[in-house]
Amino acid sequence: MERMIVSMQDPDMGIKMRNQRLLITVIPHAMTGNDIVEWLIQKYGISEEESLHLGNLIVKHGYIYPLRDPRSLVLRADESPYRFQTPYFWTSTKWPATELDYAIYLAKKNIRKQGDLIEHEKDNYNLLHKRINHTWDFVVMQAREQLRAAKQRRKGDRIVIDCQEQAYWLVNRPPPGAPNVLEQGPERRNCQTTRVQLTKNMDYYKREIEYCRKAMARTRVKSSICLEGYIKFNEQYVPHDPIMSGCLPSNPWITDDTTYWAMNAPTVPTPTKLRVERWGFSFSELITDPLGRAQLLEFLKKEFSAENLSFWEACEELRYGEQSRIAEIVDSIYQQFLAPGATRWVNIDSKTMERTLEGIKTPHRYVMDDAQMHIYMLMKKDSYPRFLKSELYRNLLAEAVIPPETKKRVFPFMRKQRHSSPSPALLLPAGDTEEKSRGPTASPVPEEES
């Protein structure tokens, strides 16, 4: 903000400042609200709306203050006069705006003109009077002294100083209900390790070396190839992006019609064309969509390799499951898929099988990682391409629906009734802890009411 303020005051490229008339007094080095808005539009190539918004923030932060109606830190895009705040009062100088300073300021206002205090200032004045009563004589004395010194200045200067102070205190003691622009949220940099970690000791450098060595060992891809990736991804997915391309029949948030959600629910009898097409983008798309996964299972059954998918699902359950059930799940996987003669024995290469069987002796969450990856890659590289060429998939594509666009309503201003839907949390009775441990396999989400 200060950088912006400084360039606004640049003698050549900044805002042209003139004398502004405030009733009968002339205030030098001032500008109009319009000047500010116009300058911002020109300098940053932004719209009037954005310029006004930005200008308003600058005023709210006290970097520019109004000369007319100084009690309201608002930018008006008209002939209202404004002035730049003196750097002495900038928020970055972080003067501790003490109670004493505030008391003196309020006392000055009170003495100069009875009843000149704004509501919240009156309340604050009374509060302070109570709280720092012991120094009140000092407060009043300071106030009188400052007022006396001010009387010796030109009226124009007096007005400016008053407005400067008013703006400063509006920022530092905002009226109740007004946003406090100085509020930053909880303090950061609490972390003790900052001090410890920044000590560039041997451990620090050892870690750096380790990190660099690993990074060097990793293959990095040329920018031209990476960036091509974005172009390709963009081409593929933009038609599926409701915000970019709209969605059929309509976006529920815009038309209040939830048919789109009903037609794309996790399990529907007939999926939409876009959805079935998406299964062809990558194996990951197929397997993460519960409906796609179900179709994959059907296909694998035909190829007598359905156990691969079941194995993969069981491994996911292990990876994302409860810590206390790890040994149990590992054993179950072993019994079903890996033990010699198991009913759904999976075909893993001997090295991986050996490693896995060894690892099972001390079961942990990641013990199936290698085997799981092997089977995943098998499905991805082997079964998936065949799936895409299969009759099953071709039929799905042929039968997939393209929903017709919702006809524009005859009376668009009459809002359609917004129906509620059953919460996913309702699916299970509250006390049913057994089922509550939801695994990573697709959890059924309630169908939409039509």
Partner 1 sequence: LLRQQEPQQHPWEPGKQTPPPTRSHRLSLPASFAKMATEGLHENETLASLKNEAESLKGKLEEETMFLHDVLFHQVAERVEALGQFVMKTRRTLKGHGNKVLCMDWCKDKRRIVSSSQDGKVIVWDSFTTNKEHAVTMPCTWVMACAYAPSGCAIACGGLDNKCSVYPLTFDKNENMAAKKKSVAMHTNYLSACSFTNSDMQILTASGDGTCALWDVESGQLLQSFHGHGADVLCLDLAPSETGNTFVSGGCDKKAMVWDMRSGQCIQSFETHDSDINSVRYYPSGDAFASGSDDATCRLYDLRADREVAIYSKESIIFGASSVDFSLSGRLLFAGYNDYTINVWDVLKGSRVSILFGHENRVSTLRVSPDGTAFCSGSWDHTLRIWA
Site residues for partner 1, 34-93, by CB under 8 A, read: 40, 43-47, 49-50, 53-54, 57
Q: Which stretch binds partner 1 (CB under 8 A): 21-29, 159-167, 340-348, 425-433?
A: 425-433
H helices present in 19-173, as ranges: 33-44, 48-60, 99-112, 119-131, 136-151, 155-172
Q: Return the number of the residue (191 or 414) whose C-beta is nearest partner 1.
A: 191
Residue 257 CB, nearest approach to partner 1 (Å): 11
Q: Which stretch binds partner 1 (CB under 8 A): 19-27, 245-253, 334-342, 406-414?
A: 245-253
Read out DSSP for 314-326? HHHHHHTS-GGGH
Helix/strand/coil (H/E/C) assignment for every residue in 370-439: HHHHHHHHHHHHHHHHHHHHCHHHHHHHHHCECCCCCCCCCCCCCCCCCCCCCCHHHCCCCCCHHHHCCC
Site for partner 1 in 1-30 (CB under 8 A): 1, 3-4
Site for partner 1 in 252-271 (CB under 8 A): 252-254, 258, 260-261, 264
350 contacts partner 1 (rule: CB under 8 A): no
Q: Return the number of the residue (58 or 346) whose C-beta is nearest partner 1.
A: 58
User: Phi, psi (5° rounding) for residue 24?
Assistant: -100, -10
222 contacts partner 1 (rule: CB under 8 A): yes
218 contacts partner 1 (rule: CB under 8 A): yes
Q: Return the number of the residue (18 or 43) whose C-beta is nearest partner 1.
A: 43
369 contacts partner 1 (rule: CB under 8 A): yes
Residue 281 CB, nearest approach to partner 1 (Å): 10
**Residue from 191, 190, 172 nearest 182 by CA:** 172
Length of the chain: 450
Q: Which stretch binds partner 1 (CB under 8 A): 68-76, 93-101, 329-337, 363-371?
A: 363-371
**Residue from 276, 275, 279 nearest 261 by CA:** 275
Site for partner 1 in 223-242 (CB under 8 A): 223-231, 233-234, 237-238, 240-242
Q: How many residues bind partner 1 (CB under 8 A)?
A: 105
Residue 202 CB, nearest approach to partner 1 (Å): 6
CB 342 within 8 A of CB 324: no
Sign of the alpha-carbon torsion through 289, 382, 321, 339: positive
Q: Return the number of the residue (30 or 263) whose C-beta is nearest partner 1.
A: 263
Amino acid sitting at position 93 = T
Q: Return the number of the residue (149 or 231) whose C-beta is nearest partner 1.
A: 231
Both tokens of 421, joined, read 């839907």
362 contacts partner 1 (rule: CB under 8 A): no
Q: Return the number of the residue (56 or 166) whose C-beta is nearest partner 1.
A: 56
Q: Which stretch binds partner 1 (CB under 8 A): 14-22, 76-84, 167-175, 423-431?
A: 423-431
| 18-22, strands of its sheet edge to edge | 18-22, 25-32, 81-84, 64-66
